[in-house]
Structures are given as C-alpha cells and as structure tokens.
Chain A
C-alpha cells in the first residue's frame, strides 16, 4: 500500500520539502484512505447485515411463498399508491411553503422556519397520536365541524387512507421544503426583474422562470420524500385501517406474528429492489429533463 511512499518521505524531514512529484503521487495513491473509516463502518453496520438478510431471504423458498400471498400484493400496491399520493401532496404543499419562505421578510422567515422545523424535531409517534386525537370521532376536528353545523354525525377521518396521508405529509414536509427552498434561492432575482420590465405578469414569471428553474429542487424533494414514504411503518398502524397496511407492516407481520423470518427478509429485499429500480428510472428521466433544459 502507501507504506513505501510514507517511508520514503520520512527521512526528508522538515527542512527539505518533498518534491512536487512525490507529493502528488502520494496524494493520488492515498486519498481513498480518507474513506476507510466510513467504508469500515458500512461494511460492519450495513453491508454485513444486508448480506445476511439477502442470504436469509433465499431459505425455504421464501420468495415464492411471499409472492403468492395475496396480502403481500395488496401491501405492495398500497405502498406504491400511498407513497405516490403523499409525495404529490407533500411536494405541492412544500413548494407553497418554500415560496412563502423565499419571499418572506427576515423576521417572518425565522418564524416560518421554526414552524417547519418544530415538527421535524418532534417524534413521529407523538405527531401521529396527536393527529389521531384530533381526527377521531369525538375529536377536535369533528367537534368543530358539527359545531358550525357542517355535519350532523362525525365524519370518519381516522383509520382510513386519508388519515394515513395526513400523518405522512406532516412528517415529510420538511424533507420537501428545504430542497425546494434552496433551489428557489439560487434563482437569479434579475431574471424576474427583467421579465417584469418587459411586461410579464406574475403568473407568467412563475410559469416561465421560477417553476422551470426550481425543477431540480422539486425532483430532489420528490425523490427524497417518495423513498422515505415507502418505509413508513408507524403511521399506517396508528392512523390507518386494516386496508392501509404498507409493506413495512407486512414485514413486521411476517416477522412477529408468523415468525417467518425468511419471508420477512424476502419482503425487505423486494422493497429494496423496488425502490432502487424506481430511483434508477427516476434519475434517468431527471437527466433527460436536465438535458432538455440545457438545449
């Protein structure tokens, strides 16, 4: 390894600096050593367990068993649709919040950031139970709706897909706001000024300048939020009904109730592969979009 270079450089001492050639060679040959700690960390804490998981997933024809289970198909479908819906809602809401943050004055911006960050620092379980209390039949929301005479009987707001998406969006919002906000702040303000000076209305400035230039932020936010969405576990348990089971719940069910560990491992691998494929496709589409932008 780099022992030779190190040994070779030592006798030179302090007052005779190494030649440029040696330094650059040393730099080239040992830069990856910087990665060693993180690599070791990854091998021990990520790759080894992942390898074991993949290994375990091939026992007792687990894949066949899992894929023949109608509940698994359902959970996979649920995972995709719920994640997609949460992603769309989160990105739209996140975009609006990011716009306001971008345009707000300094004081308002600090306050708004606090409002976005506070739930970010709150435990997901706390948030979900708070929502469950608000949305239940005799909760605050239903009491309010009945109080103002909008409904007579409580509307079912909890233990359904609507509640799951509400709970997920609340947890996911910060992940969307920050990438979008950073892409908005990198837009040159002079572009908008120029457009307005040429007679463009606000709507057309947004449509033709702000929105296209913030696409990288939107994509990054969408991807991030979607990937996090697919792994949600607590929210469907606390806020969903039995029909809103997602893949993480199915993994838990296989592991804990059926004590079928190889089945659970197979499901985890399926989820990982599915998300990886989606990410790959998404990045390809994104790249194509970026090139189009350049033209």
Chain B
C-alpha cells in the first residue's frame, strides 16, 4: 500500500522540484517569468499501442533511438482504445500523449472533436507518403490482414490459396478463429472475396451477403472469435484451431520466436493505423517531435520495417531496405494486384451499424 502510494507522490514532488528549478534560476537572473510547466512538460511522452510483440518492436526500433537522440523519455502502454481516449478527453484528465487507433476510429475521433491538430511545423512532411498525412493524425502504419495456419497440421503445400479455400468446410475440418472487432478486422471482406466478389466490387460492403456466406462456410459453429491481436498466435500454437486470421507482423514475430506458423500475403487486406494526439495532451510537442522522428529518420524507419515487416510512413526508410525485405512489405508494388485495400471512408461511416449487425448475427 505504502509502496503504491509513494510512487505518484514522489513523482509529483519531483515534478514540483523540476518546475521550481527554472524559477529559482529566473529569480536569480532577474528575467521575466516563463510558464514553469513547459520546462517540466514535454520531457516525456506517453505512447499507447496494441501490446504484445508489436510493442517490443516499437520500443526497440523507434522509441529507444528517439529517446537517445532527443533526451525525451518515452513510456509505451498497451491498452489503447478509442473509448479510453474519449473518457480521458471528456473528463479533462488526459494521460496519453500519442495514441494508436484504427483508421475508422480515427474518423470517428475527428468527428467527435477528440483530437489535437497535428503541427506540421514541428513534423516535417518530407518523409511522409501522400496517403499518410492527415489533419489530426498520421496514418503511420500499414499492415496486412492475412490468413494464417498451423504448419504442424496444414503443411504449406496444402495451405489455403484464397479465402474460399480458407472457409471451405470440406477442405479443412478445423475451426477458424477470426478477429471479432470490425474496426480492425476484415473478416466480412474476406467472406465476400470467398464468395467470388472481385476486389473492386467489395465496397460498399454487402454485409448481409457476407454474413450469409460465413453462415454457410464454414458455418457459425466452426467460427471461433478472438478479441486481442496476440490471441490467435496462442490459439494456433496450442492446437485449438489450425486456421486463423491475423496480421502479417504478428505471424512473422511468432515465426521468429520459433512457432510453426505461416501466412499468405495474397488475398490479404491492406489496412492502417493512425497515431493521434488526444485533445489536451500534456506533452503534445514531444509527441509531435516523436512523429517527426518516426516519419523522417531513415535508420529507425528501416529498422522498424525490417523487424515488423510492416510499412512505416517514412519514405527515406524504404531506400535503406534490402530488396527481399522491401518486396514483402504490405505496400510493395509486387503485392498491389493481389491484395484488397480497405476502404476507411466506408468503414468510418458504417462501423457502428455494421458492428451491431455482426454482433446480433453472432448471438442469434
């Protein structure tokens, strides 16, 4: 109890001391008063993301090099959510400075006025691809929603080539685990692709048809749901399922840890996440400095791309990558014809309605 209590108290004291120090200096030199807060603030930045292997990679490739270069300390949390962001902004007690949310969530947050405008005087947009730069955030990350399998049960030669095979009950009798949260999951797109809808006809999404397809193949009782990104890795490695949807970086990370899993980038769905700054964030300048580093530092960006197999919105990094890595990134031109690009606009307008419909379908 005392240990728990003492931490914030000590920190507060420390902050107070840190805030008073410049005052002492100012009083001695007789200068005018400058807001004491800004000296203490913006020496740290609290980043919130999705956790698991991804958070480790982010720390290693981006946050640590940034701290070393700028002297700004970073804290990385794993419990990101739009709801928590909204609660913080509405209560006026904003704890987070830089928050990862999905593209549809970004649109919702903008519409509800929860975000700070990005300061492109601090963030140089030289390294930013056109699609990434937005008024209230940067679509800093592109990833692939993929089909993954357990190689112990399904050897690569027998692996599904497309979503139709992935869902085909006759071909694989195993259960399929699919991602539950539609803000991030392209399972409805996958169902339509399985039903033979071509890439350019997927949007606007025919939700009824997608659900009908899922109900037939593989059937409701063959579907298992996961709600966290690291969960399918556990389900696949424990043998609970041998087919699952996941994201390319998660499967790569698991493979690097020795898991016998594989995935196919063909037929994948390209989607992205935004970094945003909640309205009233205490260290927004530090957050923007971090965004500037992330978007323009070639070394850090290339390290990130290499380790995660994700595309960071950082053009200088791409030139630093060996060809075999560059070709496997979600934004590689080699994949362009084989993947579906998720329509963020459609999802931001239909997310809540579709989520309700999906939940109701699951429950009935």
Contact = CB atoms under 8 A, between A and B. Distances in A.
A258 B360 CA distance: 14
A243 B363 contact: yes
A161 interface: no
Given A137-B240, A257-B181, A243 B83 contact: no
Nearest to B181: A257
B35 to A, nearest CB: 32
Interface in B109-149: 112
Contacts of A136: 238, 240
B78 interface: no
B356 interface: yes
A242 B175 CA distance: 15
Contact of A255 (B83, B221, B239, B360): B83
Interface string A69-111: 1110010000000000000000000000000000000000000
B364 A256 contact: no
B363 A242 contact: yes
B224 A261 contact: no
Interface string A273-295: 00000000000000000000000
Contact of B359 (A71, A137, A138, A259): A71
Contacts, number: 46
Contacts of B87: 261
Contacts of B175: 137
A71 B360 contact: yes
Contact of B82 (A156, A237, A253, A259): A259
A256 B352 CA distance: 12
Interface in A182-208: none
- Chain A residues touching B, majority SS: helix
Interface of A: 69-71, 74, 136-138, 156, 159, 237, 242-243, 245, 253, 255-259, 261
A242 B83 contact: no
Interface string B219-257: 001001101000000000011100000000000000000
Interface residues of B, number: 26
Nearest to B108: A259
A253 B362 CA distance: 14
Contacts of B83: 255-257, 259
B43 interface: no
Interface string B89-116: 0100000000000000000100010000
Contact of B355 (A70, A138, A257): A257
A41 to B, nearest CB: 16
Contact of B239 (A138, A242, A258): A138
Interface in B272-292: none
B328 interface: no
B81 interface: yes
B260 interface: no
Pick the 7 closest A-B CB pairs, nearest first.
Answer: A242-B362, A256-B83, A259-B83, A243-B363, A138-B239, A259-B86, A136-B240
B355 A245 contact: no
A70 B240 CA distance: 31
Contact of B224 (A74, A159, A256): A159
A133 to B, nearest CB: 8
A293 to B, nearest CB: 43
A71 B240 contact: no
Given A71-B359, A137-B240, 4 more contacts: A74-B363, A136-B240, A243-B363, A245-B363
Contacts of B224: 159
**A69, A245, A253, A257: residue with the most chain B Cβ atoms closer than 10 Å:** A257
Contacts of A253: 359
Contact of A243 (B81, B238, B362): B362
A159 B356 CA distance: 21
Contacts of B181: 257
8 contacts: A71-B363, A156-B221, A242-B359, A257-B183, A257-B355, A259-B83, A259-B108, A261-B86
Contacts of B225: 242
